[in-house]
Structure 1
Amino acid sequence: MRVGDRVITREQFHREMDQLPQFLKPLLLEEGKKREFLNNLIDRELLLLEASKRGLDKDEEILNKVERFKKGLIIEALLQDLFRGKDEVKEEEIEEYYREHKKDFFVGERIRVRHIVVRTLEEAREIKRRLEEGEDFVTLAKKYSISPAARKGGDLGYIERGKVGKEFEKAAFALKNPGDISDIVKTSFGYHIIRLEDRKEPHQKTLDEAREEIRKILREKKRERILKDYLAKLREKYRVVINESLLEKELKK
C-alpha cells in the first residue's frame, strides 16, 4: 500500500493491529473492520504527509515535546521493571495500616444536591416561582443555570462540609428530606437554588470498604522508597556535578 511517497507494508499493518488494546482486537474479526482500520492508517499517513510538507516535522517546539514524551516513555519502562515484584502489598500489611489509621477512613456526612445558579436576584426569584408551581428542577437547571453542572441537570454529586462555600454549605445541609428545595442563596458565583437528592450519614469504612484504597496507598509508599534508594545508588554510579555559582544566579532571577 502506498500513500504518496510512503509505503504501508503488510508487516507495518499487522504491527499496528498488534498495538491495539486487547479488548479491541476481536472487533477486527468483524466484516469490514480490517479495511476500516487500514483506512484509518491511510488517513494518518495523509495527515503526516501534509504536516511534513508544511515543515511541522522540523518545528522545534514539536520536536521538544516529542523528545520529552520519548524520555517519559523510557523512564516509565525503567520504573515498571524496577518495581516489578517489589511493590506487592500483603493482606497483613493492609490490616495493620487499617488498625493504625482507622480514623482516616471515617466518612463524614455527605449529601447529594442539584443547584440552579443565575446572575441576578430577579432571575432566581422567577425560577423559584416556577419551581413552586411544579416545573421540573432538572429541566430548568439545564435551560437557565450558568453552572458547568447545568448539562447534568445541576447535579453536583455528593458534597461534604468544608468542601464548598459557607453560604452554600449552610443552605444545602439545612435541607432535611430528598426533594426539599432551598430559599435563594447568594454567593460569589451568583444566586443559587438548591435541591437535596440524597443524604448519607457519617460512618466508619470497614476494612473491606477501605482495602483497595489502602493497597494503593501502601503500594505508592513502597514505590517511593524503592525509587529513593535506587536514585541514591544512581548518584553513586554516575558522576553528578552542579555548578553552584551558576545555580545561585538562576535561583536569584
Structure 2
Amino acid sequence: MRKYSRFAAAALIALAAATGAVQAEDAADPVVATIGPAEIRESEMQLAIAGLDPQLANLPDEQKRVAALSSLIDIKLLAADATKEGLNETDEFKQRIGYLTERELHNAFFKKHVIDSITPEEVKARYDKEIATIVPEDEVHARHILVKTEEEAKVIIADLDAGKDFIEIAKEKSTDPNKSEGGDLGYFSKGRMVPEFEAAAFALEKGAYSKEPVKTQFGYHVIRIEDKRKQQPPALDQVERQVRQLVMRDKYLDFLEKAKAASSVEIADPALKTAYEAVSNPQAEGEGEPEAPAAQEQE
C-alpha cells in the first residue's frame, strides 16, 4: 500500500494551534515543555511519538518520549527562526502546506469512513466469500523414518511387518531432526515435499506404510499415513487482518469511484493520462489496481 506520513502535516498544524486553553483542557493536555513563549503539550508529544522513525518503534516508552521531545524542540526552535525570516510566506511553503493539508484531510476521511466504519459483520461476510472460492486440496498427515541405506529401510519395513511400533522405531533409528516426534510431518498438500516422497505418500491409504523404501535426495524413507482429508481453510482469527484489508480496499475504491463520477478529471499530458487511467480503473486486477492508503488502525 502507499505510505502516507500523518505526522508531517499534523506537526505543522500543531505549531500554529492557538494557546490559552481553559483549565479543564490544560489538565487533559498538560504542558510538557516550553521554548520561550511556545509550548509543547502532551498531545503534540503523542503525535511526535507516532511519527518517530520505525527503527525507534521498539524503544522503551521513556526513550521514545525523549526522542519525541528532542524532535519537537528542534522543530520549534528552527520553525521560529524560519518564521522570522518569512519563510512561511513564500509561495513554495504555502503550496506545500496546501498539499499537506489536503493529504491529511484525505487521511482523516479515510479513517472515519473506511477504517472506523468496518464492522465485524462485514469482515465475517468477506471471509465467508473468500473461503467459498477456495477449492480444497487433498492433504495427508504422514510420519516417516529416514535412514541412509536401502538395506536399513528394508529391515525397518520387516520390523513393521512383524508388528513393531512405527513411532518407537522412528525415535530410535531415524536420522531426521523430527525423530523425537516419531517422524511426524503433520498435514501437507501436494507440492510441499520432494516429488518422490510426495508420490509415495499420496498413493498410500490411511493407516498404511510403504512396503518398499522410498529413495529421495535425503536418503531412504519409510512412510506411514496417519490421516487423509481435504485441506482446511484458515480460521477467521488467523486471517482477520488480511480480510479487514480487503474490506478496507473495497470501501476505499467505492468512495473513489463515487467521487470521480461526481467530478471531472482532466489530464493534459496524453501519455500521463493513459498511464493514470490504467492504474486507476477500479475494475483492474493485479498490480494495476488502486490501493487504499496505508493507515494505522486503532487497536
The TM-score normalised by the length of structure 2 is 0.43
Relative distance call for 1:97 and 1:199 in structure 2 (3 A) is closer
2:203 counterpart (157, 162, 174)? 174
How far residue 173 of structure 1 moved from its aligned partner, in angstroms, is: 0.8
Instruction: Name the residue aligned to 1:164.
Output: 193
**Structure 2 counterpart of 1:73, one-letter code:** N
Instruction: Name the residue aligned to 1:151.
Output: 180
Instruction: Name the residue aligned to 1:194.
Output: 223
Conserved 8 A contact 1:114-1:156: yes
Instruction: Name the residue aligned to 1:185.
Output: 214
How far residue 202 of structure 1 moved from its aligned partner, in angstroms, is: 5.6
**Structure 1 counterpart of 2:205, one-letter code:** K
Distance in 2, Cα, partners of 1:75 & 1:94: 36
How far residue 219 of structure 1 moved from its aligned partner, in angstroms, is: 3.8
**Structure 1 counterpart of 2:155, one-letter code:** E
1:99 has 2:84 as partner: no
How far residue 195 of structure 1 moved from its aligned partner, in angstroms, is: 0.5
SS in 2 for 1:135: coil
How far residue 116 of structure 1 moved from its aligned partner, in angstroms, is: 0.2
Distance in 2, Cα, partners of 1:218 & 1:75: 31
Distance in 1, Cα, partners of 2:213 & 2:57: 50
1:71 counterpart (56, 59, 64)? 56
How far residue 225 of structure 1 moved from its aligned partner, in angstroms, is: 4.8
**Greater share of helix:** 1
Count of paired positions: 152
Instruction: Name the residue aligned to 2:278.
Output: none
SS in 2 for 1:73: coil
Distance in 2, Cα, partners of 1:190 & 1:89: 53
1:117 has 2:142 as partner: no
The superposition leaves residues 59-110 of structure 1 with CA deviations (integer Å, 9 ceiling, x where unpaired) of xxxxxxxxx99823149999xxxxx994765312431353256323x33111
Conserved 8 A contact 1:89-1:215: no
1:141 has 2:170 as partner: yes
Distance in 2, Cα, partners of 1:70 & 1:191: 47
Conserved 8 A contact 2:140-2:228: yes
- Structure 2, unmatched stretches of 5+, are 1-52, 66-110, 250-290
- Structure 1, unmatched stretches of 5+, are 1-67, 79-83, 231-253
| RMSD between aligned residues | 3.7
How far residue 197 of structure 1 moved from its aligned partner, in angstroms, is: 0.7
Instruction: Name the residue aligned to 2:105.
Output: none
